[in-house]
Structure formats: C-alpha cells, structure tokens
Amino acid sequence: MSDREEEEIVEERVYTIPLKKAWNAKIKKRVPRGVRLVRSFVEKHMKVENPIITPEVNEYLWKRGVEGLPRRVRVRITRDVDDIVKVYLVKGD
C-alpha cells in the first residue's frame, strides 16, 4: 500500500496556480517568491496555516534554476482527517 492509500483523504482539489507576480521580483529571487506564492495560494483557498509542499512541486519550480520559474503550476491539494494539507504536482495535463 502506498502512503496515499493509508491516509484518509477528506477533501481533494485541483488548481492551476498563476505565478505571474513572481516575475516582478528581482531575477535571483524569482523562484523563492514563486514558492511563497504557492504557499499563500494554498493557505487562502484551503484555509490552513502551514500546508506541506511536496518535493516534486518544489523540484518542478526549481527545474530551470532560480531565474526560470514557470508561468503557472497545476497542483492537486489534499486534506486528510488530521487536517493536514499537502500539495502534489498534477502530471500529464
């Protein structure tokens, strides 16, 4: 059994998060700002304090280095019975 089957998912949503505002940051601070935008988006839409951003989402944002942030990212956000929110990357869209 994988860890996704073991945790009981109460709620699951799929979002496309725009990262346009991160492109206004200084060139060497672009991806860190993008990560903060993802975190604030999830906090706002799922009404939670500290969401867990999985390493696959973080690697996707950092894939092209500190300057090459993607314009948007498609994520799947899950909430389990313990009210823990995790952000996963949607693949194949």
* Contact between 76 and 13 (Cβ < 8 Å): yes
Q: What's the CATH architecture for 3-89?
A: Roll (3.10)
pLDDT in tens, 33-91: 999 999 999 999 999 999 999 999 999 999 999 999 999 999 999 999 999 999 999 98
Which burial class, exposed, middle or buried, applies to 39 when counting CB atoms under 10 A from its CB (0-12, 13-18, 19+)? Answer: middle
Would you list the domain boundaries of the chain? 3-89
What is the pLDDT confidence band of residue 93, given thresholds at 50, 70 and 90? low
Q: Are 39 and 53 in contact (CB under 8 A)?
A: yes
> How far is residue 58's CA from residue 35's CA, in Å, rounded to a whole number?
7
Distance CA 37, CA 83 (A): 21
Tens digit of pLDDT for each residue in 2-40?
555 567 889 999 999 999 999 999 999 999 999 999 999
Q: For residue 29, give both structure tokens.
A: 């601070």
Assessment of whether the complete model's pTM goes beyond 0.85: yes
